[in-house]
């Protein structure tokens, strides 16, 4: 590790404070409301992406290959944007300069590895454990880790205290999702496989925090999203290479349905929006609102999906209502002590 990447200990606090305040001011009520609405939309996209990537993995008979395809499509789109838009290239140059001078840590650029884990877990576990158990595992990991990420000040909004409202909101969200899928989580054999999406949920909070930091130095969301996808694609290619060496090439065939390839595009939109609004909401509130949107869209999918048996039951609807209440509790304004 070079000196430019990691400044002396005496400069660390000042560097972190500067990184947390670049382009960040106290969010107005309108910005906070916009951030919440955008987070709800992001959650809806995650529900759709989980369904798409899970189906693609089932067709390929390989969840890792499905994740590589999904991430690869998103990376291609972003690379084209970088070639066409000077603002993207300028943003990437600003990020490079921030890293070289130590104003941005090198590990802030690795958020995409957590995104790769999320997409990988969708392809590997959803065809086996289903979207319901997958959602429980993601929510459990994300809710708890969001508290830690905000408390440590990793995100662009700096440190957030562990207030009763924030803790109650996180705990109530986990309980709400357990209620929503209580009729589907009684299979003990699925718990071990559910550990992968739980780990992905933990990583999602950290990913949102560091992507928000990169977005501040890049000046816009697209350069930060490209950095995210580049790191994630590198991690997936390493994983896929090991998988091919051990098990061989996927035995399935590429499907012809175009909608099975939109997972990467959804990922681009999700990362770009999350990196943009996390400075208004903080990591915890962004995560809880995303969870609420995910449940609402999953309910709509249950109603509209072919072969659905009349849509979700009363426990699912109760879980959604509790999740929305949890987001409202966590969104209550709190006094932040000056650092």
Does the pLDDT value for residue 241 go beyond 90?
yes
Q: What is the CA radius of gyration of the chain?
A: 20
Which residues lie closer than 8 Å to 173 by C-beta, 6 or more apart?
139, 143, 288, 291, 322, 323, 326, 327
Check residue 51 and give its pLDDT. Answer: 85
pTM recorded for the entire structure: 0.74
- Joined tokens for residue 122: 């969708």
**Range scoring the smallest mean pLDDT among 77-91, 149-163, 180-194:** 180-194
Nearest Cα to Cα of residue 170 among 148, 150, 151, 144: 144
Count how many Cα atoms sit within 13 Å of the Cα of residue 276 in the half-sphere of its side chain: 19
Check residue 231 and give its pLDDT. Answer: 94
**Range scoring the smallest mean pLDDT among 3-7, 135-139, 140-144, 188-192:** 3-7
Instruction: Report domain extents, the chain.
Output: 40-330
Mean of pLDDT values over 74-96: 94
Mean of pLDDT values over 55-76: 92
Check residue 23 and give its pLDDT. Answer: 40
Long-range contacts of 171-174 (CB under 8 A, 24+ apart): 171/143, 172/322, 172/323, 172/325, 172/326, 172/329, 173/139, 173/143, 173/288, 173/291, 173/322, 173/323, 173/326, 173/327, 174/139, 174/140, 174/143, 174/144
Higher pLDDT, 189 or 153: 153
Residues in the chain: 339
d(CA 176, CA 208): 23
Residue tagged 């009363």 (tokens): 314
Question: What's the mean per-residue pLDDT of the chain?
Answer: 80
Mean of pLDDT values over 151-177: 76
Check residue 16 and give its pLDDT. Answer: 41
- Evaluate the CA torsion angle 274, 20, 140, 161 in order and state its sign: negative
Between the CA of residue 268 and those of 191, 221, 255, what are the distances in Å? 30, 10, 22
Q: How confident is the model at residue 41 (pLDDT cuts 50, 70, 90)?
A: very high
Does the pLDDT value for residue 70 go beyond 90?
yes
d(CA 110, CA 232): 8
């Amino acid at each position: 590790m070079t000196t430019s990447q990691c400044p002396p200990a005496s400069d660390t606090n000042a560097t972190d404070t500067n990184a947390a305040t670049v382009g960040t001011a106290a969010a107005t009520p309108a910005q906070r409301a916009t951030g919440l609405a955008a987070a709800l939309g992001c959650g809806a996209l995650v529900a759709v992406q989980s369904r798409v990537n899970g189906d693609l993995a089932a067709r390929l008979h390989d969840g890792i290959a499905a994740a590589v395809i999904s991430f690869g499509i998103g990376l291609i789109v972003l690379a084209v944007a970088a070639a066409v838009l000077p603002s993207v290239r300028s943003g990437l140059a600003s990020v490079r300069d921030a890293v070289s001078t130590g104003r941005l840590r090198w590990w802030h650029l690795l958020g995409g590895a957590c995104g790769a884990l999320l997409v990988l877990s969708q392809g590997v576990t959803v065809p086996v454990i289903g979207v319901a158990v997958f959602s429980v595992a993601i929510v459990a990991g994300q809710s708890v880790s969001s508290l830690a990420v905000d408390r440590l000040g990793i995100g662009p909004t700096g440190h957030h205290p562990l207030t009763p409202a924030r803790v109650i909101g996180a705990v109530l969200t986990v309980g709400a999702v357990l209620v929503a899928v209580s009729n589907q989580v009684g299979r003990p054999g699925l718990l071990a496989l559910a550990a992968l999406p739980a780990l992905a949920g933990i990583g999602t909070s950290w990913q949102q925090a560091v992507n928000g930091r990169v977005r501040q130095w890049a000046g816009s969301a697209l350069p930060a999203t490209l950095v995210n996808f580049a790191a994630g694609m590198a991690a997936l290619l390493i994983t896929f290479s090991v998988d091919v060496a051990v098990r061989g090439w996927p035995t399935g065939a590429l499907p012809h349905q175009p909608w099975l390839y939109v997972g990467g595009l959804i990922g681009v939109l999700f990362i770009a929006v999350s990196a943009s609004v996390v400075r208004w909401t903080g990591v915890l509130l962004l995560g809880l609102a995303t969870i609420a949107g995910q449940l609402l869209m999953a309910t709509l999918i249950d109603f509209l999906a072919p072969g659905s048996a009349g849509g979700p039951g009363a426990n699912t609807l109760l879980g959604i209502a509790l999740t929305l209440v949890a987001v409202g509790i966590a969104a209550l304004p709190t006094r932040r002590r000056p650092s």
